[in-house]
Amino acid sequence: AGGCDGVPRGHPVLLIACDASASLSNDQMRMTKVMAASWLTATSKSGVCVLAGLYHSGEVRQGVSGPLIQWIAHPCKSVAASKRDAIRALVALPDKGTGAQSDALSIAFMLEEAKRLARGSMIYLILISDCAWNQSFNTEKNGKEKVRAFFESAHDDLNGKLNTTLVALGVSEETGFEDLLEKVVKVSEENLRDYAAVAEQIGVYVASCIRERRRPMGRR
């Protein structure tokens, strides 16, 4: 992974966290890649620092499996030299998820990376998931409750410096996060292959957020 010496800090950060577990269908995984690529494209000429990664589980080291973050765009932990390089790497990934996800744990880890680079600047978190939340810790809360508790704590801790969008893949009903997050985008099963329309919607929304990045945005 290496250090981050020489990497500018204190700039707005766009964090794209992609659920890549085995519960995602081929259509959901392809849409995940298209949407992540759309956000990377939308920010290619901006001054926003972009982190993008897949979270699932796999072999952490020889003989040991656990939660795994696969960085696609990261100023210190990715081989991609530019956002366009990251897009090419993203497109080349398999069209099927693998392993199980530890949602709250993985998202928390990725957010800590963003906080370290943002240093008090705005963080835009884009979470792309099928919303089949898994339990991350040995608690009485189920996966969804744990993710909700994480977001409540994160928004309070960052005090208006976190803007979160949940993209719910293959979901038509309410997610249970509409009252908590800044935006929830539901992509129904029938729209999972409508890449162009979804990518355009995302590009326009992200561009508007970046233009308004100096305006404090907290929880609804």
Tens-binned pLDDT, residue by residue, of the chain (220 aa): 334 544 566 788 989 999 888 788 888 888 888 888 777 777 766 667 888 888 876 554 555 455 678 888 787 776 555 666 666 666 666 555 454 557 888 899 999 999 999 999 999 999 999 998 876 555 667 889 999 999 999 999 999 999 999 999 999 999 999 999 998 989 999 888 887 777 777 777 767 776 765 444 444 4
- What's the one-letter identity of residue 113? E
Question: How would you label 128-140 residue by residue, b for 16+ Cβ within 10 Å and e otherwise?
Answer: bbbbbbbbbeeee
Task: Evaluate if pTM is beyond 0.75.
Answer: yes
Question: Smallest Cα–Cα separation from 86: which of 137, 152, 18?
Answer: 18
Which residue pairs from 58-62 have beta carbons closer than 8 angstroms and sit at least 24 positions apart in sequence? 58/98, 58/99
CA atoms within 13 A on the CB side of 50: 28
